[in-house]
Chain A
Amino acid sequence: MKKARKNKKFIIYLVMCIILGFVAGILRVKKESFNINTHKIIEIYLPFGFLAISLIITILQMLYTFDVKSKIKNINLDDIPDKFDSDLGNFMMLGSLGIIISLMWFTIMMNKMFDNNKLRWISYGFLIISIIFQNISQRLFNRTYPNKKINIFEDNASEKYFNKLDEGERWIVYNSAYSTFLKMQIVYGILLGVTLLISFVTSIPIIVPLIIGFIWIIETSIYFLEAKKYE
């Protein structure tokens, strides 16, 4: 029964690949290529897209700040409710995402192809706001868990935090990290595959598959080198 299910899955994937290959081949053979107006996407949609995402993240962070700050006064720190723990975790995740997105936007806006100084300053402003909210979420975490205080601005902050975790919490970290590594292997493959398909249809900057490939190589190499330390 299991073998039949495995074979069925394999056949379905094979058929999907055949169809994709057929479509890609036809598109490659066609003399005309599709012209995507990259100028409009880069100059207009991209900066305003980042502005919209940054606004949404900032509003969510403000809501979480009010929510968590109001609840923290009334909870028993010896018996923290799961909902509060989950909200605090989401707030911290938003903080990290907010900084990454703001940094991406700021880096893009500093590119010489953009001459919109207003948007440049706005992106810088959102970067500062993200850092402030990250700081707030960190303080609330330290108040909730005083025996596991984090200070992201000190040296080896991650290592110091990890050393404060108990065995169950470390087990969660190990499993989450390995699961992330496995899923990222699939993500990189899909990204390169999609880039390949798009290349059949229109011209795509060579730097895109190069960057995806380099990051994939670096991550895989780091994993194997780290694992070798324990052999």
Chain B
Amino acid sequence: MALKNRLKEFRARYELNQSQLAKLIGVSRQTISLIERGDYSPSVVLALKMAQVFKTNVEEIFILEDEEDEKSKEE
């Protein structure tokens, strides 16, 4: 199951660039970039911190994509 995220969308909504979001959460800009690209799945702590910053739930930012959804998309 792939982990998709709407981080870029939330950043745009709150007018935050990667560096500003990174500073708010206490990580490097590189980490935010890795998460946005889908290369790295954040820890629970980091995901919760992001949800706090965007005043939403973790499930709104990160979505687990089912294998079936992936296959149907490929078709």
A167 to B31, CA, bound (A): 7
Q: Does B28 contact A (CB under 8 A)?
A: yes
Task: Please tell me which one of the listed residues A79, A167, A169, A172 contacts residue B19 in the complex, with CB atoms under 8 A apart.
Answer: A79
Query: 18 more A-B contacts (CB under 8 A) besides A79-B20, A167-B27, A167-B42?
Result: A78-B20, A78-B23, A80-B29, A166-B26, A166-B27, A166-B28, A166-B31, A167-B31, A167-B43, A168-B27, A168-B28, A168-B31, A168-B32, A168-B42, A169-B28, A169-B31, A171-B34, A172-B30
Tell me the interface secondary structure of chain B in the complex.
Answer: helix
28 A-B pairs within 8 Å (CB atoms) are namely: A78-B19, A78-B20, A79-B17, A79-B19, A80-B19, A80-B29, A166-B26, A166-B31, A167-B31, A167-B40, A167-B43, A167-B46, A168-B27, A168-B28, A168-B30, A168-B31, A168-B32, A168-B34, A168-B35, A168-B40, A168-B42, A169-B28, A169-B30, A169-B31, A171-B34, A171-B40, A172-B30, A172-B34
Tell me what chain A mostly uses at the interface: helix, strand, loop, or mixed. Answer: helix
B17 — which chain A residues lie within 8 A by C-beta? 79
Instruction: Encode contact with A along B1-38: 1 for CB under 8 Å, 0 otherwise.
Output: 00000000000000001011001001111111011000
Binding site for A on B (CB under 8 A): 17, 19-20, 23, 26-32, 34-35, 40, 42-43, 46
Q: Which residue of A lies closest to B46 (CB)?
A: A167
Complex Cα–Cα for A172 and B37 (A): 14
Q: A57-81 vs B: 1/0 string, CB under 8 Å?
A: 0000000000000000000001110
Chain A residues contacting B19 (CB-CB under 8 Å) are 78-80
B33 CB, nearest partner CB in chain A, Å = 8
- Contact digits for A70-114, partner B, Cβ 8 Å, 1 yes 0 no: 000000001110000000000000000000000000000000000
